[in-house]
Amino acid sequence: MATKTTAEKLATIQKGYTLEGATIELGAAIIDGELHKDAPVRLPLAMMNRHGLVAGATGTGKTVTLHMMAEQLSTAGVPVFLADIKGDLSGLATAAAGSDKLRARTDSIGQAWAGKTFPVEFLALGGDGNGVPVRATVTSFGPILLSRIMELNDTQESSLQLVFYFADKNGLELIDLKDLRAVIQFLTSDEGKDKLEELGGLSKATAGVILREIVNLEAQGLEKFFGEPEFDTAELLRTAPDGRGVVTCLELPTLQTKPMLFSTFLMWLLADLFEDLPEAGDLDKPKLVFFLDEAHLLFNGASKAFLDAITTTVRLIRSKGVGIFFVTQTPKDVPADVLGQLANRVQHALRAFTPEDAKALKATVSTFPLSDYDLEETLTSAGIGEAVITVMNEKGAPTPVALTRLRAPESVMGPSEEALVRSTVAGSALLGKYGTAVDNPSAFEKLTGKAAAPTGPAVPEPAAGGPAAGGPASAGNYDVDAEARRIEEEILGRPSSRPAQAPEPQYSEPQFDEAQYSEPRESEPRASRTRAKAPRTRQAQPRQPEPQTGGMMGDLGGVLGGALGGGLKSMARSMGTQLGRELLRGVFGTSSRRRRR
């Protein structure tokens, strides 16, 4: 093949990045060692929900790249979520000061630079930092993500799913870790041993392992991440009064020592958005762009159920208007099924100091389209603030590969003053909603009979025989063993070996009056409500009964999805949908009160 001239290469890039709609400006192309500011490299705003990868060796400028992209997304009215691991993304709230060196760089790529501030919201997991506290209930977090934090094996994870299933069916709200601990202690006690046997797949020894892991989490101080008021992920979708998208920075000052919790909590945020957002199709701009820094932490040692759930979320959340950018060192850090969903690529320099580095370099080169660059040489010689880029154009085809000198951020590339961060948090509308933890009646109180600190009018006493009177609600018309036999017969295609119990007159939900412990039902739909949900106060207003539309097949779907793991989740969800029943748990085994109403 004939070698192209520099002019021909320039024309190829200019044509490939001539786009009609709104774009994110990434920088200017470098061709044959020469910078061409007349060859701008862009990313179509409408294609940001096709996901992306920002990769490169440590110190090559990945964080500055996502900083620069976040600024432009905010300006375009797109909310952004950033995990601030190093603590230097808070600089978005402070305008950068110009310098001769900076001006020379921005002029060379044709960037009209001016120092600016951006609307930033600071969050902190459980209040571990200066930001507004972010909490999730244990039941919302779900068994798959919680198993990930506790590093349970597949058998233990399946057993934890059975515990969650038992709690769901018996009206035992799992708000914090003491609730989950109380349920497992009940199942392993003399009083609860019959219930434990009914669960079949949960051995007392495995329950003990899970209980020890929960105690270990509490000893590490992680209990503060679980509780109420639970953070409503709709808060991530806000825009400022001037129309710019709010940039939400999740502060992680001490979580570098707890990487598993950090990565798993981010997936909870995504899973919650995935379950709540409606289908949107192709939009002119995304509803939200999510940057997952240190993405390799998500996948290291992950179970198959966890990886399957991530793959499903990445594949399907695009149609809900959410873009995900994974930020890591090499594409090898991301599983092939996920990597195949990432249409936009910003690859910073790689190093080839070891044989393993050389393999990673070759693997990275193989993932790019054919180009006019010698990518092995280009990727090892690119400077700081330069990257090899290919994105999806407006017609859905990859743009030409272009070595690019990237734009400079217009806010501070580093942390803002702590006083500014504190004042921003103090003035946040979210602080009043999420700033103070509450402890409402839940599984722990029901099983132990201890009252929680009152947060509203007195809660009526449970009916005789209910959980607070002596353990969780009895199965009533619901027979766990009978359902287990149905599952076994359905899967194995033969009569169950389990002993039959006396026939029940009908198959229905447990007769537990959840209204005594539940928050009032809100009449208006989620979309019309204020995005921020107020702290739950357990007002003594009756909750409307849930429609009994599930029947046997609806509950069978719940068991298959919850008790047998992620592998049968899609089948279970499909069955429930066909019967008009909303399953309580999503693709990660997550749940949320606002989805259960």
CA-to-CA distance for 366 and 375, rounded, in angstroms? 9
AA identity, residue 285? K
Task: Report the pLDDT value the prediction gives residue 174, as an integer from 0 to 100.
Answer: 94
% pLDDT > 70, the chain? 74
Query: Cα-atom radius of gyration of the chain, to the nearest Å?
Result: 26
Q: What is the DSSP string of 15-45?
A: HHT--SS-EEEEEEEEETTEEEEEEEEEEEG
Give the pLDDT of residue 332.
Answer: 87
Local confidence band at 208 (pLDDT 50, 70, 90 cut-offs)? confident
Of residues 524 and 106, more confidently modeled: 106
pLDDT for residue 381 is more than 50? yes
Residue 541 has pLDDT above 50, yes or no: no
- Residue 64 pLDDT > 70, yes or no? yes
Q: What is the predicted pLDDT for the residue at 531?
A: 39
- Spatial neighbors of 493 by CB under 8 A, at least 6 apart, are none
Q: Does 130 score more than 80 pLDDT?
A: yes
Q: Does the pLDDT of residue 65 top 70, yes or no?
A: yes
What's this model's pTM, rounded to 2 decimal places? 0.75
Q: How far apart are CA 17 and CA 33, in angstroms?
A: 19
Sheet order of strands, 132-134 included:
34-44, 23-31, 402-406, 386-390, 344-347, 52-55, 322-328, 288-292, 80-84, 247-251, 120-125, 132-134
Whether omega before 510 lies within 30 degrees of 0, making that bond cis, reads no
Residue 308 is predicted with a pLDDT of 84
- Mean pLDDT for 283-310 is 84
Tell me the mean pLDDT in the region 261-286.
85
- Residues 5 and 8: their CA atoms lie apart, in Å, by 5
Residue 194 binned pLDDT confidence (cut-offs 50, 70, 90): confident
pLDDT in tens, 71-129: 999 999 999 999 887 778 999 999 999 899 999 999 999 999 999 999 999 998 877 77
Q: pLDDT grade, residue 549 (50/70/90)?
A: very low
CA distance 545 to 516: 12
The string of pLDDT tens digits covering residues 416-433 is 999 999 999 999 999 999
For 125, the 3-state DSSP assignment is strand
Per-residue model confidence (pLDDT) at position 525: 41
Convert the pLDDT of each residue in 560-593 to its tens digit: 344 334 433 443 333 333 323 333 466 666 776 5
Question: Beta-carbon neighbour count of residue 104 at 10 Å?
Answer: 9
Give per-residue pLDDT as tens, 399-420: 999 999 999 999 999 999 999 9
What the block records as the tokens of 315 is 């594949």
Mean pLDDT within 197-212: 82
Q: What is the pLDDT of residue 542?
A: 39
pLDDT at residue 538 in the model: 37
Residue 131 pLDDT > 70, yes or no? yes
12: left (phi over 0), alpha (psi -120 to 50) or beta: alpha
Mean pLDDT, residues 534-563: 38
Per-residue model confidence as pLDDT tens digits over 306-358: 788 888 889 999 999 999 999 998 888 898 899 999 999 999 999 888 888 88
Q: State the average pLDDT over residues 41-64.
A: 94
Q: State the average pLDDT over residues 13-28.
A: 96
Spatial separation of the C-alpha atoms in residues 236 and 233, rounded to whole Å: 6
Least confident residue range of 27-41, 66-80, 490-504: 490-504
Residue 72: what pLDDT?
Answer: 97
> Chain-wide mean pLDDT for the chain?
78
Least confident residue range of 158-162, 177-181, 220-224, 480-484: 480-484
Inform me whether the pLDDT recorded for 385 exceeds 90: yes
Q: Is 374 exposed, middle or buried (0-12, 13-18, 19+ CB in 10 A)?
A: exposed
- pLDDT for 489: 54
Query: DSSP secondary structure string, 431-495?
Result: HHHHSS-B--S-HHHHHH-PPPPP-SSPPPPPPTTSGGGTSSPP-TT--HHHHHHHHHHHHHSS-
Q: What is the pLDDT of residues 460-475, one digit of tens each?
A: 333 434 343 344 443 3
**Mean predicted confidence (pLDDT) in 25-38:** 96
